[in-house]
Amino acid sequence: AKPLQGTLPEIFLGVTRPSSQHGVLGEVAGRKVAVDLYETHTISLFGVQGGGKSYTLGSIIEMATL
């Protein structure tokens, strides 16, 4: 996937301020949501069958290894 250029995401998961290493997960209500990739975190994904849990985890792993 091509890295996104431009403004920083408005919502960061895992930190209280913008992170120097992050990956954009998507958008909610027109606001970019990113996950911090600099610090160590424990991530739990919950949802119904077919809700995209494995896809989301795969995306986070891919962002962390690139």
**Which 3-state string (H, E, C) describes 1-59?**
CCCCCCCCCCEEECCCCCCCCEEEEEEECCEEEEEECCCCCCCCCCCCCCCCHHHHHHH
Domain that holds residue 42: 11-65
pLDDT digits 0-9 by tens, 31-59? 999 999 999 989 899 999 999 999 999 99
Q: In this structure, is residue 22 part of a structural domain? A: yes
- pLDDT, residue 8, reads 87
Q: In this structure, is residue 16 part of a structural domain? A: yes
For residue 2, name the pLDDT band (cuts at 50, 70, 90).
Answer: low
Rounded to the nearest integer, the mean pLDDT of the chain is: 88
- pLDDT, residue 66, reads 80
- pLDDT, residue 6, reads 67
The count of structural domains within the chain is 1
Please report, rounded to a whole number, the percentage of residues in the chain having pLDDT higher than 70: 91
Q: In this structure, is residue 2 part of a structural domain? A: no
Q: In this structure, is residue 53 part of a structural domain? A: yes
Q: In this structure, is residue 5 part of a structural domain? A: no
